[in-house]
């Protein structure tokens, strides 16, 4: 592991993120999949499909406007993620230097094992929270807004990484060097790219049991009731199996949000949920309702007086 550390430390700071090296491969795989879809006439077949139409896209389809929206969100995400990491570096460095009870050596294999497993477990916990707390869901929902599932969808990333920055705090506190934390999450993110496809069926059963795969992640992007809030894994699906959130793929999912969005505008896709939260909070008269609209699960609604009376009657 020392050679890896020496190699990365010798690079200019802006080139030390493994994602920067992976981008050409992302684009290559996207082009290959997109070309295959065009060969199958999926793109032409769906090019006039109105947003929100109940007709399902065929497997592996691309819609040009949808893909451009995803790619553009990914390009902006590169900049915003770098900014968030720059802020996090200050906090992580201070925690690592002054708070951590020990400092793990960057050239030790076990440091990387702790970092990779730690990032993956913390990603699972953060990702699950993001689906259950509306304010954090607002940062994540854009990734789920596409009704298509392909490599372009993998690039439809959030611009607000503040939740993940907080989620990683235990690692520098445990003495993991900050740059290894960032490198480990980048590797985690790179792994997650390939699971965004319908062109790969279920894999070897032992692999499916341990690792996140396209089949598992298709479930996560499904808006069908059986698939909601399932399969939060980054690399290892064992977290979902351990904590009761695993769901196998039974039939092809319907993708996207439960309330489809009728736009390809990347600004609206990113910030629409924030605007909805503000509107709901302003319209609420009770503080508990304001808090519910902000920190309750997506779709949370206050209990009406009629429902309160009905609940009281049922108790009696």
Do residues 9 and 87 share a domain? yes
Do residues 200 and 278 share a domain? no
116 close to 184: Cβ distance less than 8 angstroms: yes
Do residues 200 and 305 share a domain? no
Give exposure, 192-213, as e/b (b: 16+ Cβ within 10 Å): bbbbbbbeeeeeeeeebeebbb
Q: What is the pLDDT of residues 294-303, one digit of tens each?
A: 999 999 999 8
Residue finishing a domain among 161, 179, 204:
204
Q: Running DSSP on this structure, what letter comes out for residue 304?
A: P
Q: What is the pLDDT of residues 156-174, one digit of tens each?
A: 999 999 999 999 999 999 9
Do residues 297 and 163 share a domain? no
Do residues 290 and 169 share a domain? no
Q: Token match 């049922």: residue?
A: 314
Q: Is residue 153 part of a domain?
A: yes
Do residues 175 and 58 share a domain? yes
Cα(288)–Cα(214) distance, integer angstroms: 40
Cα(128)–Cα(221) distance, integer angstroms: 13
Q: Is residue 255 part of a domain?
A: no
Q: Is residue 252 part of a domain?
A: no
Cα(257)–Cα(94) distance, integer angstroms: 39
Q: What is the pLDDT of residue 141?
A: 97
Do residues 76 and 190 share a domain? yes
Give me the domain span that covers residue 305. 269-315
Q: Is residue 159 part of a domain?
A: yes
Q: Is residue 231 part of a domain?
A: no
Q: What is the pLDDT of residues 76-125, one digit of tens each?
A: 988 898 888 888 888 999 999 999 999 999 889 999 999 999 999 999 99
Q: What is the pLDDT of residue 59?
A: 80
Tally of domains within the chain: 2
Q: What is the pLDDT of residues 210-257, one digit of tens each?
A: 999 999 999 999 999 999 999 999 999 999 999 999 999 999 999 999
Residue finishing a domain among 172, 204, 236:
204
Q: Token match 């030390």: residue?
A: 16
Cα(291)–Cα(128) distance, integer angstroms: 20
Q: Is residue 243 part of a domain?
A: no
Residue finishing a domain among 151, 173, 204:
204
Do residues 63 and 152 share a domain? yes
Q: Is residue 296 part of a domain?
A: yes
Prediction pTM value? 0.82
């Amino acid at each position: 592991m020392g050679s890896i550390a020496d190699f990365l430390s010798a690079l200019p700071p802006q080139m030390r993120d493994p994602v920067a090296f992976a981008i050409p491969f992302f684009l290559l795989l996207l082009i290959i999949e997109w070309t295959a879809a065009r060969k199958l006439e999926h793109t032409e077949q769906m090019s006039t499909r109105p947003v929100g139409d109940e007709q399902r896209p065929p497997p592996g389809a691309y819609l040009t406007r949808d893909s451009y929206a995803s790619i553009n969100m990914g390009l902006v995400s590169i900049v915003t993620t770098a900014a968030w990491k720059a802020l996090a570096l200050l906090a992580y460095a201070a925690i690592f230097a002054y708070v951590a009870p020990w400092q793990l050596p960057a050239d030790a294999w076990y440091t990387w094992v702790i970092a990779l497993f730690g990032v993956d477990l913390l990603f699972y916990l953060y990702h699950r929270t993001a689906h259950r707390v509306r304010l954090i869901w607002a940062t994540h929902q854009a990734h789920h807004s596409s009704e298509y599932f392909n490599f372009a969808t993998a690039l439809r990333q959030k611009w607000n990484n503040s939740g993940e920055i907080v989620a990683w705090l235990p690692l520098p506190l445990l003495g993991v060097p900050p740059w290894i934390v960032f490198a480990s999450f980048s590797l985690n993110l790179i792994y997650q790219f390939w699971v965004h496809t319908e062109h790969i069926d279920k894999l070897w059963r032992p692999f499916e049991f341990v690792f996140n795969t396209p089949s598992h992640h298709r479930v996560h992007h499904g808006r069908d009731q059986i698939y909601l809030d399932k399969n939060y894994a980054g690399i290892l699906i064992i977290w979902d199996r351990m904590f009761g959130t695993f769901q196998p793929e039974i039939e092809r999912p319907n993708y996207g949000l439960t309330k489809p969005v009728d736009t390809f505008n990347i600004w609206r896709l990113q910030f629409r949920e924030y605007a909805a939260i503000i509107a709901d909070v302003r319209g609420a008269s009770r503080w508990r309702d304001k808090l519910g609209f902000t920190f309750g699960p997506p779709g949370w609604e206050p209990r009406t007086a009629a429902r309160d009376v009905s609940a009281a009657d049922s108790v009696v």
